[in-house]
């Protein structure tokens, strides 16, 4: 979800090119993979927006049915199953999977998203409301209010400016 991010001056997108996707995944990818990952990212951001009741402009125009269908499509794009292996006389679990490396990564991300959106941590998912931020985060500490320390600093600076500059 957070391959779209903002700094003080503009919105950035780490997945604008196939090269950017390859760098993000660390595996070979092509144009079709880029389109599939962009569809999955949009779906994940839509679902996060619904769960967090996100009111930021970037989180508007959500389509819940399309998002659910896309996550399900991605999750089944590379079926996985557990296998046993033996290493130094010890039984270990190994996951086998079908599909290209990019499909495997997309399916893994989708499966992790299903766990996040339906698991116990779903109530901890938050939209960062620091000025200009477009990220989501899991509130892993009771006092955490922003996705990063820099967003917290930006929010405190903006609040200080409003109080002291009218």
Tokens of 134: 């477009």
Q: Per residue of the chain (166 residues), give pLDDT as tens.
A: 999 998 878 999 999 999 999 999 999 999 999 999 999 999 999 999 999 999 998 898 899 999 999 999 999 999 999 999 999 999 999 989 999 999 999 999 999 999 999 999 999 999 999 988 999 999 999 999 999 999 999 889 888 888 898 6
DSSP class of residue 132 equals T
Residue entry with tokens 């390859």: 22
Tokens of 119: 């698991």
DSSP string, 24-93: HHSS---HHHHHHHHHHHHHHHHHHHHHHT--SGGG-S--HHHHHHHHHHHHTSS-EEEEEEEETTEEEE
Whole-prediction pTM: 0.88
- Could you give the CA distance from residue 26 to residue 106 in angstroms, rounded to a whole number? 12
């Amino acid at each position: 979800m957070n391959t779209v991010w903002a700094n003080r001056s503009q919105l950035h997108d780490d997945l604008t090119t196939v090269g950017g996707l390859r760098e993000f995944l660390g595996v070979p990818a092509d144009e079709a993979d880029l389109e599939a990952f962009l569809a999955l990212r949009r779906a994940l951001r839509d679902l996060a927006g619904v769960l967090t009741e996100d009111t930021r402009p970037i989180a508007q125009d959500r389509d819940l049915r399309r998002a659910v269908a896309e996550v399900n499509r991605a999750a089944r794009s590379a079926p996985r199953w557990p296998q046993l292996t033996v290493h130094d006389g010890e039984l270990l679990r190994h996951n086998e999977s079908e599909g290209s490396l990019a499909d495997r990564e997309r399916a893994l991300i989708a499966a992790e998203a299903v766990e996040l959106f339906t698991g116990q941590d779903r109530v901890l998912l938050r939209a960062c409301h620091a000025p200009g931020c477009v990220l989501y985060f899991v509130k892993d500490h009771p006092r955490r209010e922003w996705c990063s320390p820099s967003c917290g600093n930006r929010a405190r600076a903006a609040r200080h400016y409003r109080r002291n500059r009218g």
